[in-house]
Structure 1
Amino acid sequence: GQVFVRFNSSHGFPVELRSDASILQLKEVVAQRLAVPADQLRVIFAGKELSNDLTLQVSLPG
């Protein structure tokens, strides 16, 4: 599925990942795109920081 990643409250881009991908995998993909270390990224959804071991399937409704 496609996840839209937004950063710095303005810029953003879609990321294509399997629905069973982990938050850590999402961070790794985004880190490559932004040329930053994955461990410096935080994933916030609905106001909560998501832990690396969650999957997109569990984290995103629908």
Structure 2
Amino acid sequence: ILIDQGTSDNFLEEQLKPQLLEEACAAAKIPLSLNMREGYDHSYYFISTFMADHLRWHAERL
């Protein structure tokens, strides 16, 4: 699983809680790449910044 998460996301602490997914993946021995991106929020700019990385990651696994 590949996740990019902005550290300035307004939904981070109350709703997204990526640390819970990180803990669950570790307990289930599921590989997880959780990239906490300093200063990014939940905007289109954030998504567009890392889109190419995600397309490459998926292409490598197809």
The answer to which structure has the higher strand fraction is 1
- Higher relative contact order, chain-length normalized (CA < 8 Å, sep 6+): 2
TM-score by length of 2: 0.29
TM-score by length of 1: 0.29
The answer to which structure has the higher helix fraction is 2
Indicate the structure (1 or 2) with the bigger Cα radius of gyration.
2
